[in-house]
Amino acid sequence: MSPPSFFAESSTMQNQGQGIAPVRVKDLLSAAAPLGRVLVRGWVRTVRDHKDFAFVEVNDGSCLKNLQVVADAPSAAYDTAAALSTGAAVEVAGDMVASPGKGQDWELRAETVVLVGACPENYPLQKKRHSDEFLRSIAHLRPRTNKYGALFRIRSAMAMAIHQFLGERGFLWVHTPIITSSDCEGAGELFEVRAGSRGEDFFGKPAYLTVSGQLAVEMFCLSLGNVYTFGPAFRAEDSNTSRHAAEFWMVEPEIAFGDLAQDMDLAEALVRHLAETVLTDLAEDLSVFTRFVDKTLEATLATVAREPFARISYTEAVDILSRAMAKFQFPVEWGRDLQSEHERFLTEVHFKKPVIVHDWPLSIKPFYMRVNDDEKTVAAMDVLVPRVGEIVGGSQREERLGVLLSRMESLGMNPEDYGWYVDSRRFGSVPHAGFGLGFERLLMLVTGVTNIRDVVPYPRTPGSIEF
RNA sequence: UCCCCAGUAGCUCAGUCGGCAGAGCAGGUGGCUGUUAACCACCGUGUCCGUGGUUCGAGUCCGCGCUGGGGAGCCA
């Protein structure tokens, strides 16, 4: 049972419970023994009223299950309960007793039922399945459904698990800036930031929303040791797909004195740990997705969590794809980037589990990735997972000043624009490596949800910022 | 940004060859002694996405636009 509510004593809300501390439904339903007189607050999912009694299903968001409230007639509690409608907010006080009916262990025998907030008949959520498209149009109400309640509890738990996993391994969380000045971090179009009437004058130079905290966090890696960022990133790309959003969250660990092998080890350990966490700690919420979204989800997650990822070089990947009998729309040729269909073939058809592809052609990767001895490839790696595709992208960073400068030069970049970044290679440079894990793509992996818009509370995509 | 598909009641959808706008669910009313997305009976529901055109007549055919979805590119 969780600790008593912080608000138990200080609540200003007038309730009928005569000072009883409110209890969350999750704690009530998991109780081993009767809890006596309790107070519950939540939202009505459905009402079944009969002549002599009424059942009210109350959900307070703490867990998937509803609490069954029973009100006997004749009583004021019955009159209020029978008149409740789906969506109404209620406060119920009564005795927690073993349920004589089937389907639940406990139920709340209501002494008082208070209508906290009424809900009229034009409430959009009904006691039936709705399409994801419809629920997306009422994003402010969809967390009241079973599926999205479970989704956002899982989202919170995954974020917590990431902090815990990295924290336990000595990684420090660095809050890199949301507003940046570098206009060429090597990834995508930028959103420009303006300050009302002062415009660009506010910072004295153009400012943008960050596309990645990597360059900034590298500096802290070279001072604090192992570090990570975990926060929002923004891309102004006109991407209209189920896997892209203009605002999304990324986890970006950076390993001091680390190489590509350690980078792959950490990425694999993190993804496997998160899959295991969902399977073991979030089984109830996960069941929604196994039942209604993807019947094979648990098997897929078990494979992710418990089998080592395949690891192949880019050159080997090209070899496998060239020999594959599958017909690809796009040609496979050393030096070209892998297409979605190629990624899916590797992870879904060939290996049937997550695959790490490492050592990519230098010509298709950004300036900060470490050049290998062959001078044709860089120490980069992508983690590909079934259904989602690329979930992690990372590399060992180029720590040699001369090599970094010549890479920037050959890409037409001006090192003076990155003075602070280049400085780090001048003053006590060390090998280091890191990666970015797309948080929403991780959520798609662990829930089976196929549209990124459905794992974000209020999704932002081109032409869409309704909420 | 490109290709494809869709838009009809609050929701999910049917609507034949161009000829009076339909069903289920939700909602309302009543009934029901333990229900589980309860059940039974009865009741209401429309800018057929918008706009222009073809036609005696358009939900239906054609053009344009908007919105949503699927796929591609880019990427996390």
CB atoms within 10 A of CB A8: 14
How many Å apart are CA A132 and CA A271, to the nearest integer? 26
Question: Position A232: which residue type?
Answer: P
How many Å apart are CA A71 and CA A77, to the nearest integer? 6
How many Å apart are CA A79 and CA A43, to the nearest integer? 17
Q: How far: A286 CA to B2 C1' (Å)?
A: 37
Residues A132-181 pLDDT 10s: 888 998 898 999 999 999 999 999 999 999 999 999 999 999 999 999 98
The first and second tokens of residue A66, run together, are: 């509803």
Nucleotide nearest to A366 (CA to C1'): B75
Q: How far: A55 CA to B70 C1' (Å)?
A: 42
User: What is the edge-to-edge ordering of all strands in the sheet holding A389-396?
Assistant: A172-173, A227-234, A247-256, A432-438, A389-396, A377-385, A355-361, A310-313
Sequence-separated (6 or more) residues with CB below 8 Å from residue A158: A274, A277, A278, A439, A442, A443, A446
Q: Return the percent helix, strand and coil in chain A, to nearest 5.
A: 35, 25, 40
Q: Does residue A190 register a pLDDT over 60?
A: yes
| CB-contacted nucleotides of strand B (7 Å) | 1-3, 10-13, 25-28, 31-38, 67-76
Residue with tokens 């998937």: A64
Nucleotide nearest to A394 (CA to C1'): B76
Q: Using pLDDT thresholds of 50, 70 and 90, give the confidence band for residue A13.
A: low
Q: How far: A117 CA to B21 C1' (Å)?
A: 37
Q: How far: A453 CA to B65 C1' (Å)?
A: 25
Q: Using pLDDT thresholds of 50, 70 and 90, give the confidence band for residue A10.
A: very low
Residues A46-65 pLDDT 10s: 988 888 889 999 999 999 99
- Please give the model's pTM, rounded to 2 decimal places: 0.92
How many Å apart are CA A123 and CA A270, to the nearest integer? 41
Mean pLDDT of chain A: 89
